[in-house]
Amino acid sequence: MTFVEVIEVVALVTGLLYLFLEIIQSNWMWVVGILTGIPVAVSFGIQHIWASMALNIYYVIMSFVGIVMWIKASKQTSEGAYHLERLPRKVLITSLVATVIGIPALIILLRVTHGQETALDAVAFVLSVIGTWWLAKSYIQHWLVWIVADAVSTVLCISMDAWMLAALYAAYAAWAVYGYFLWKKKGEYIA
């Protein structure tokens, strides 16, 4: 096994654990997110997939933010309920504008830096940044963003022959559907 393949195996195992913990809304998800984000960032960096490398560094940083936000939110719900916040119209509009402007701008930047698969990388990056922020805020709609972002990430990984990461992102996309309905069933709005 090559070094990148070993990294992908570690990412696959920790990534599946992360997904499970996200679905059941466990605060431990954020800790596992750190353990997943670091090796995936290294793998993408080795392969010159710059936006996805930066995205995984962002995931590590957001894991620290997310754990603080979720601990606070979990204190505001009933036992066994999942904490949810309503998605404000302003956040939705800002996110849409960031998507429309961010994707083309990032494609240009990635082409200048000789990145690989620039369009897929840019789409996955922008949607994943939004999805992660929405996850930290406990907006149930984050699952819908993840379905699209993870599908794009699956195609990106297939194009790079990163089969284990492709399997991980495909699992993320499929389980995001389940996560959405579970959170809808067990969710309790706190704000």
Cα dihedral 158, 164, 168, 173, rounded to 10, equals 20
* Most distant CA pair in the chain, distance: 51
Q: Is 80 left (phi over 0), alpha (psi -120 to 50) or beta?
A: left
What amino acid occupies position 67?
A: I
Domain count, the chain: 1
Q: Is 117 left (phi over 0), alpha (psi -120 to 50) or beta?
A: left
Q: Which domain holds residue 52?
A: 3-78+85-189
What's the predicted TM-score (pTM) here?
0.90
Per-residue pLDDT of the chain (191 residues; tens, 9 = 90+): 888 889 888 988 998 999 999 999 999 999 999 999 998 899 889 988 888 899 999 999 999 999 999 999 999 988 889 999 999 999 999 999 999 999 999 999 999 988 888 999 999 999 999 999 999 999 999 999 999 999 999 999 999 898 988 998 999 999 999 999 999 999 999 96
- Which residue in the block uniquely carries the two structure tokens 């996309």? 173
Contact 44, 115 (CB under 8 A): no
Structure-block tokens of residue 151 = 């599908």
Contact 69, 184 (CB under 8 A): no
As a whole number of angstroms, the distance between CA 191 and CA 167 comes to 36
